[in-house]
Amino acid sequence: MKVWINGESHLLSPEMTLAQLLVEKRLEGRRIAVELNEEVVPRSQHDSRKIFHGDRIEVVHAIGGG
């Protein structure tokens, strides 16, 4: 299935959870926050939340800023 991550299209195997996606992209354990279709998905729900074709995902972290 095709999804959008941080504005770029990615091809993923079907039936993935957010947690599995983060592992695949080597982001597990990192200080990040995730949005799925413009809604924040809390860390506690990453294991249970499934991703579907066409989903738009944002993965963000803290950087220096004023």
Neighbouring C-beta atoms of residue 3, cutoff 10 Å: 19
List the structure tokens of 62: 């803290």
- Tokens 């991550």 belong to which residue? 5
- Subset of 16-35 contacting other proteins (CB under 8 A): 25-27, 29-35
- To other proteins, the closest distance from the beta carbon of 10 in angstroms equals 8
Q: Minimum CB separation from other proteins for residue 31, in Å?
A: 5
CB of 19 within 8 A of CB of 42?
Answer: no
Q: Site size for other proteins, by CB under 8 A?
A: 27
User: Which residues contribute to the site for other proteins (CB under 8 A)?
Assistant: 5-8, 25-27, 29-35, 38, 40, 42-43, 58-66
